[in-house]
Amino acid sequence: MSQIPEMLRMLKRTYPANDFSSAHKSPFEVLVACILSLRTKDETTYPAAQRLFAKADTPRKMLRLSAREIEKAIYPVGFYRRKAKTIRGICKKVIRDYDSEVPDSIDELLKFKGVGRKTANIVITFGFNKPGIAVDTHVHRISNRLGIARTKTPEETEYALKGIVPREYWIDLNELFVRHGQNTCRPISPFCSRCQIRKFCKRIGVTKSR
């Protein structure tokens, strides 16, 4: 898989860094922003996170807000009422079990209700700047379409990618594949004619493209 570094470098030139890593400074902010982003588009998530963090940017400050106040700040993110409850639950656990500090291990993060491996990996990478690969539907799909993974679940893809992607590219991979999936490598009828990394792609499962 010697082509992987070149492929990721090409994607990095195509998709300069977005605002995620710079907008959310602390591990707590990264964690909460991840919760808000689930099933919600970036253009809705970022303003909602900014509104919420303007009111409360630590677990203790967040718990001073009622669920209703959090709901109003984050609306119209998807499932905003449920997410407000999840955020309050996370804050209580962080304060009670971790002395108000978000833990820096995936195993500990997975103990939080509402936190899956993708979110845990994003917190590890963007919140603590530790190597990790966050795998969502874009990363899972593109990895299998390229032929660099042959997996059935995002978790299997995470472990497969960790075995073949050089460690220095782990943090960048999620953002690059997500943005490539949003702009070019669509789930149905991808834009193969304008794909920057087409020469590396085996186009597995692609029956129709543009």
Instruction: Please tell me the distance from the alpha carbon of residue 163 to that of residue 177, in angstroms, as a whole number.
Output: 17
Query: Which one of the listed residues 25, 107, 118, 172 is annotated catalytic?
Result: 118
**Which residues lie closer than 8 Å to 187 by C-beta, 6 or more apart?**
137, 141, 181
Query: Which one of the listed residues 83, 136, 199, 202 is annotated catalytic?
Result: 136
For the question of residue 107 being annotated catalytic, the response is: no
55 contacts 65 by C-beta, under 8 angstroms: yes
Count other C-beta atoms under 10 Å from residue 146's C-beta: 20
For the question of residue 97 being annotated catalytic, the response is: no
30 contacts 130 by C-beta, under 8 angstroms: no
Q: Which two tokens stand for residue 95?
A: 């304060």
Amino acid identity of 125?
T
Angle at the Cα of 97 from the Cα atoms of 128 and 94, rounded to 5 degrees: 50
Q: Which residues are catalytic?
A: 118, 136
